[in-house]
Structure 1
């Protein structure tokens, strides 16, 4: 019995999952579920959410026992408990800071996801380009193989020179070398797709051709405002602001509260003059303030965080300008490729098909020689290669626009 068939019977779901070709959307969904980088970003969100619960953290409670001759030669004991508490505004400032860290982690996850979706789609489309290029090169190989056979026959019958046969063989070998290079490129991008999907299992594509472009290009630079990278950088500004508020609140005095309970053997225990024994207890409470005597370093922290906030704000502004520029360039690139597509579809491709057809007939009938046929053949095939490359470039430009606007197709 066939081993693969037996495995399919024993583990039908696993066998199906590993062999099922992926659509582009299926690849995206698998990456969102399995990519380790995105999972790491998700865990980081949980980490900062847990930190919010530490906003009310207090210093450890100080519990002391004192035993010895504190009042006379008799052994006395003293039990005391004290607690340092930050000024109440510190708790609020700390919670706000922790919440901004949560928001920052959430936006970093969004940045990671936006990058991941773009890379998966970019890689998927590039693989489709190589698949179509392989078909085109195989067609060229077939054409030049026929050319070689015809040139060889013409050389044997004395109708042509060795140069015609040599040129045809040279071009055929060049195309076969391109096929080998294309196969290597496919394997490179398949490995890249595997890494993005978070799997080591072989992957295959359900689609066979580059998808058509689907969006009109609008030169709206405000579209980048939704890019999660900008939202993440905005959180950096807020984080510096909240950190500054926490440093400022930390300058205020800490509050100390305490309680003690002790023995004072031999000390008058009441107005009647009775002396305290070891069972007589004296107790009291303590309230105090911990004041910062040296304010310079604490104020320096606040000023340093102001500089950090300014730097974060400038970084945000710079990223906004950069993204707007990149968006505008991407739109112009898309328009250029779309216009080029129109040219190929309406003019270049029909002319190339006619040129290829007429040249083949004329060469077979002897109306034209090999130099003219060779030139016409190269021209027609160059048009087809240019059209395929333009389709890929146009789709990649469209994907990049969607990435910059955080509106994945």
Structure 2
């Protein structure tokens, strides 16, 4: 471990080369290839696809032997029986429909997992871009307040100001450097999150340098959430309950039983005259046909009624989630509009005024036209505006990603 750390310190380029440099799109593609949760959902689809072949399952064949004195005092009579119970044919079709519905459910579950994974990867990636831009802003603050401290120290040593100005400058610079340490920690946290989402054992880095602009066109609210895979998954639960009810109804129908027997009847006359008599080599055979009828229908019908309640519960859950999802989408649209308006304010009004204010304040402070309190206040106002601008850009993009997640179009 110490050797690795030493190599990383002495040869940073080598250490950087060992990490994966990713754009947002390549990060998404890598996550879709490697994420264990998505692979689990894919395996679940495969499981239900294999289960379709079990739709025609029938009970095991019963093969039995009867041996001994079942016909006479002869002790070596034998009787072979083969019987097979077959469910009523309509049960096979009901099972297949249920298994196919289970496949569709697993497919929608995988789609929902994929949709959420893509959203999370993009969300974390944008957060990393935001933290990087914040870091640049903090470094700029460090430069500004380092210069402020230098000027304050010079003014104090020349007797132009009191210790209070220098102390205020030192305190503000320490706050900036503490914010820089927190920012570095946040970058490591979100990088670790991104690596976990990618399912990668290799450290990752991002290559993009700025938050991309949001370009989402607002969709029609009434139809926007129709393609949401989680909603489709819940809708499929209703279908599954319906198919399960059909299976339970078909299970009430009689089972068909067919059989074949082959036996010896040693000592039995072979004809009407009474001679000759059957020996062990003489075989007697026949077949059986029957029905297995449910004599107690109450429990079977209760299962059907219970499944009707299950279908009703699934339908209500779907309706509730549809209402909630619709509300979330409408809120997301308003949040997107609010964040976009805020961004436009910063771009067209706040930032141009801020840049002018900072330049004039720096000149006025250097020339002694304004004191440190007014200069510090102007600095704080300008830096707050820049911080708000970065936050607005991040919020707009995050709102766009959330809307795309809700409509299932990442």
TM-score for the superposition, normalised by structure 1: 0.95
Question: What per-residue deviation string (whole Å, max 9, x for no partner) do you get for residues 358-377 of structure 1?
Answer: 00000000111111111111
Alignment-derived partner of residue 56 in structure 1: 56
Alignment-derived partner of residue 23 in structure 2: 23
Cα pair 1:59 1:84 within 8 Å, conserved: yes
Cα pair 1:66 1:78 within 8 Å, conserved: yes
Gaps of 5+ in 1: 5-13
Alignment-derived partner of residue 270 in structure 1: 271
Question: What per-residue deviation string (whole Å, max 9, x for no partner) do you get for residues 124-153 of structure 1?
Answer: 000000000000000001100000000000
State the distance in 2 between where 1:218 and 1:368 align. Answer: 52
Cα pair 2:19 2:202 within 8 Å, conserved: no
Alignment-derived partner of residue 398 in structure 1: 400
State the distance in 2 between where 1:217 and 1:340 align. Answer: 17
Which of 349, 352, 367 matches 1:350? 352
**1:374-389 paired onto structure 2 within 5 Å:** 374-389=376-391
Cα pair 2:62 2:83 within 8 Å, conserved: yes
Alignment-derived partner of residue 93 in structure 2: 92
State the distance in 1 between where 2:235 and 2:220 align. Answer: 24
State the distance in 1 between where 2:89 and 2:126 align. Answer: 57
**1:61-210 paired onto structure 2 within 5 Å:** 61-74=61-74, 75-210=76-211
State the distance in 1 between where 2:53 and 2:15 align. Answer: 45
Alignment-derived partner of residue 307 in structure 1: 309
Alignment-derived partner of residue 297 in structure 2: 295
SS at match of 1:326: helix
| Distance of aligned partners of 1:316 and 1:341 in 2 relative to their CA distance in 1, 3 Å threshold | same
Cα pair 1:118 1:403 within 8 Å, conserved: yes
Alignment-derived partner of residue 42 in structure 2: 42
State the distance in 2 between where 1:238 and 1:269 align. Answer: 62
What is the deviation of 1:106?
A: 0.6
State the distance in 1 between where 2:99 and 2:64 align. Answer: 33
State the distance in 2 between where 1:17 and 1:113 align. Answer: 29
Gaps of 5+ in 2: 5-13
**1:208-247 paired onto structure 2 within 5 Å:** 208-218=209-219, 220-247=221-248
What is the deviation of 1:176?
A: 0.6
Alignment-derived partner of residue 8 in structure 2: none
Which of 333, 345, 361 matches 2:335? 333
Alignment-derived partner of residue 373 in structure 1: 375
| Distance of aligned partners of 1:40 and 1:388 in 2 relative to their CA distance in 1, 3 Å threshold | same
Give the aligned CA root-mean-square deviation in angstroms.
Answer: 1.6
Cα pair 2:20 2:202 within 8 Å, conserved: no
Cα pair 2:83 2:260 within 8 Å, conserved: yes
Question: What per-residue deviation string (whole Å, max 9, x for no partner) do you get for residues 271-311 of structure 1?
Answer: 34332111111101000111111111100000000000000
State the distance in 2 between where 1:270 and 1:311 align. Answer: 69
What is the deviation of 1:39?
A: 0.4
TM-score for the superposition, normalised by structure 2: 0.95
Cα pair 1:219 1:331 within 8 Å, conserved: no
Cα pair 1:222 1:324 within 8 Å, conserved: no
State the distance in 2 between where 1:160 and 1:283 align. Answer: 121
Question: What per-residue deviation string (whole Å, max 9, x for no partner) do you get for residues 27-52 of structure 1?
Answer: 00000000000001001111111100
Cα pair 2:22 2:204 within 8 Å, conserved: yes
Question: What per-residue deviation string (whole Å, max 9, x for no partner) do you get for residues 290-336 of structure 1?
Answer: 11111111000000000000000000001111111000000000000
Cα pair 1:224 1:327 within 8 Å, conserved: yes
SS at match of 1:54: helix
State the distance in 2 between where 1:153 and 1:304 align. Answer: 85
The alignment covers a number of residue pairs equal to: 398
What is the deviation of 1:270?
A: 2.4
SS at match of 2:364: helix
What is the deviation of 1:104?
A: 0.5
State the distance in 2 between where 1:120 and 1:142 align. Answer: 33
SS at match of 1:130: helix
What is the deviation of 1:214?
A: 1.1
What is the deviation of 1:219?
A: 5.2
